[in-house]
Amino acid sequence: MSTPDAAPDVAAATANEILIENRDFAPTELTIPVGATVRWVNNDDTQHRILSVDEGVVDSGTLPPGAVFEQRFDTPGVIEYYCDIYNFMKGTITVE
């Protein structure tokens, strides 16, 4: 009996995606390699704006419902970010 091969390309395509739903980030913590791109998808019914705690690292601008924001990270470190509209929404990206 054979086992079907997993689809690594599909997993890789969504591995660095953060969903914005129910006024929350999912996942709230993400680890990526240097040079990877993170994609935030606003699946919420309201707008959001993603900002890094350290000014100037991440700024998505206003994301209306259905919008997508992508950013590449080329420097190792820990990036803490939040929603400027709903300050209780927080997340962390670790770049290794």
What does the pLDDT read at residue 2? 43
- DSSP H or E run through 70: strand 68-73
Backbone angles phi, psi at 62, to 5 degrees: -75, 125
Nearest CA to 54 among 78, 71, 38, 32? 78
* 41 found inside a domain: yes
Question: Residue 80 and residue 58: Cα distance in Å, rounded?
Answer: 9
pLDDT reported for residue 1: 46
Say whether pLDDT at 5 is over 90. no
- Tell me, yes or no, whether 81 lies in a domain: yes
- Identify whether 3 is part of a domain: no
Q: In what order do the strands lie in the sheet with 24-26?
A: 24-26, 17-21, 36-42, 68-73
Segment 14-73, tens digit of pLDDT: 679 999 999 999 999 999 999 999 999 999 999 999 999 999 999 999 999 999 999 999
Domain with 66, as residue range(s), is 8-95
pLDDT at 4 over 50: no
Residue 22 lies in a domain: yes
Q: How confident is the model at residue 10 (pLDDT cuts 50, 70, 90)?
A: very low
* Residue 91 belongs to some domain of the structure: yes
Establish if 42 belongs to a structural domain.
Answer: yes
